[in-house]
Structure 1
Amino acid sequence: MTKFTRFPPQSDPPLSQGDTLPTMYDLPSENPEEPGLPDEYHCYQPALLRQTFKPSNYEENQIFIGTDINLYYDVRHVNWYKRPDWFAVMGIERLYENQDLRLSYVIWQEQVSPFIAVELLSPGTENEDLGRTVRQLGKPPTKWEVYEKILKIPYYIVFSRYTNELQIFQLMGGQYERRQLINGRFPLPELGLSLGLWQGSYENINRLWLRWFTLEGELIFNALELVEIAKQKTQLAEQKTQLAEQKAARLAAKLRELNIDPDNL
């Protein structure tokens, strides 16, 4: 199993013994005044990514997937956070302290950075998502800075449903470098998966969707798709059985016309 680097220690002076860090339960998990609240697409697309994310070399209980939850990243500024549309952390307990669903992801508690983050472009966040914004004096670092320099997330994915452009960035030498798709997909051998675009119907909406494939390019089906496939296989088997019965009945009728009892053959 691939081992991923744990979250690097902060370069700031060490905390004093009397300092107590807030946990997931102490920090706010939502901000009603925050702009850019999820639209309908931001509900469906992350759900499809979650449902088809099946790394071949990790057990399900050793993966945490975050969808539009606060990601707290700075022990010196405990209220600073980013809110990725989708991210995955590998090699960590599925439940917080192995017992509770997470309200947010607090890096100084978890000690493991995400392995991959996905942002779904919208007009209001495009510049920040693509690293075009500059940090303002006295303000938190930009999303790009947090992912690249602080959390050091190995893979950063940006997809625009408006242009259908998929951009893949990989952390190389401490900086994000754009990578090219191979046969329409980007392989992640560390996970035994590839990521690409798929034209099809999900939640009765036919469009181009971002979803996971095997390394060989085969679709990874979600639960509803597997049920539909099983249903189709059952229907096909029933049709074959009906055809065989009809053929046998026609043959028996012809034998009877020849005064041959098919039941005695």
Structure 2
Amino acid sequence: MAQAYRDNLRQPFAKPLPTMYDLPSEDPEESGLPDEFHDFQPHLLSATLRLAGVERDRIFTGTDLNLYYDPNHPLWHKRPDWFVAIGVPRLYAGWDLRLSYVVWDEGVNPYVVVELLSPGTEKEDLGQTKAGEGEPPTKWDVYESILKVPYYILYDRYSNTLRGFRLVEGQYQALAVENDRIWMPELKAGLGLWQGEYEGRTRPWLRWLDEEGSWIPTPLEQAEERQQKAEERQQQAEERQRQAEANAARLAEKLRVLGIDPE
């Protein structure tokens, strides 16, 4: 099935273009995830993302996944800490888990990219480095000029600093950050720093807000909330039952005082 799908994809092109089946999901020369934070934080972003009017199966979020952006240089890629593409199937071709995200194959660029700053990548993430002659472009250049990602968000967990940029007329302009929150009106959602416990660690975490400014719960939080409400309803029902029994007992006692058999 996979081979047939690849063959069908390649037919319209003058030369075969690699798909996600042909391109690796990780660079073997890189070490992969550097720490637990870079694992947990992207998962929280995916778990709290809800977009009004967009079905969950038409949203793809990538974490530490190779993002291939140039069909003329098919091995050139970046690996965002987290990104979301809107309007593509959650599963590749509707059935497969992605090995990588290939822009010319998917036909949809990421809408939001989040980079988690670390000492080794901070300068490139902030656009403070330049590519040498013949070298692949920097992250900033790829997100701004090639992929034209509408929103580029950066979070420094060491200083708990949140920064954001919006693409305006082809260039990134800094976004206002108020109360550690960034609003994205096109998505009717925002990103902000939430102080709380996630995966056993209490600290500021980056997570999504709905259009009313409320934190969007994770599926686990939703389940816990449903369980809590069910327990509260059960307690209320038991309390009503106790009150009814107490009222019946008082009425029966009054009837006995009047010489009336309550039975």
With the shorter chain as reference, the TM-score category is: 0.7 to 0.9
Determine the C-alpha separation between the residues in 2 that align with 1:263 and 1:48: 61
Structure 1 residue 207 corresponds to structure 2 residue 207: no
Structure-2 residue corresponding to 1:115: 111
Deviant stretches of 4+, over 4 Å? 260-264
Which residue of the other structure, out of 140, 151, 155, is the alignment partner of 1:144?
140
Q: Could you tell which deviates more after superposition, 123-132 or 197-206?
A: 197-206
Determine the C-alpha separation between the residues in 2 that align with 1:27 and 1:116: 23
Q: Residue 84 of structure 1 aligns to a residue in which SS?
A: coil
Structure with larger RCO (C-alpha < 8 A, sep 6+): 1
Write the mapping of 1:80-159 to structure 2, written as runs, cut at 5 A.
80-159=76-155
Structure-1 residue corresponding to 2:16: 20
Query: Structure 1 residue 35: deviation in Å?
Result: 4.5
Structure-1 residue corresponding to 2:245: 249
- Judge conservation of contact 1:69–1:83 (CA < 8 Å) in 2: yes
- Judge conservation of contact 1:255–1:262 (CA < 8 Å) in 2: no
Write the mapping of 1:153-232 to structure 2, written as runs, cut at 5 A.
153-232=149-228
Residues 175 and 200 of structure 1: CA distance in aligned 2, closer, same or farther (over 3 Å): same
Determine the C-alpha separation between the residues in 2 that align with 1:234 and 1:60: 26
Structure in which a larger fraction of residues adopt helix:
2
Query: Structure 1 residue 248: deviation in Å?
Result: 3.1
- Judge conservation of contact 1:84–1:117 (CA < 8 Å) in 2: yes
- Judge conservation of contact 1:57–1:192 (CA < 8 Å) in 2: no
User: Unpaired segments of 5 or more residues in structure 2?
Assistant: 1-12
Structure 1 residue 79 corresponds to structure 2 residue 82: no
Determine the C-alpha separation between the residues in 2 that align with 1:175 and 1:262: 88
- Judge conservation of contact 2:252–2:262 (CA < 8 Å) in 1: no
User: Match of 2:170, as an amino acid?
Assistant: G
Q: Residue 75 of structure 1 aligns to a residue in which SS?
A: coil
Determine the C-alpha separation between the residues in 1 that align with 2:261 and 2:187: 59
Write the mapping of 1:46-57 to structure 2, written as runs, cut at 5 A.
46-57=42-53
- Judge conservation of contact 1:129–1:144 (CA < 8 Å) in 2: yes
- How much is the aligned-residue C-alpha RMSD, in angstroms? 2.0
User: Unpaired segments of 5 or more residues in structure 1?
Assistant: 1-15
Residues 105 and 263 of structure 1: CA distance in aligned 2, closer, same or farther (over 3 Å): farther
**TM-score, L = length of structure 1:** 0.86
**TM-score, L = length of structure 2:** 0.87
Identical positions, percent:
52
Q: Residue 193 of structure 2 aligns to a residue in which SS?
A: strand
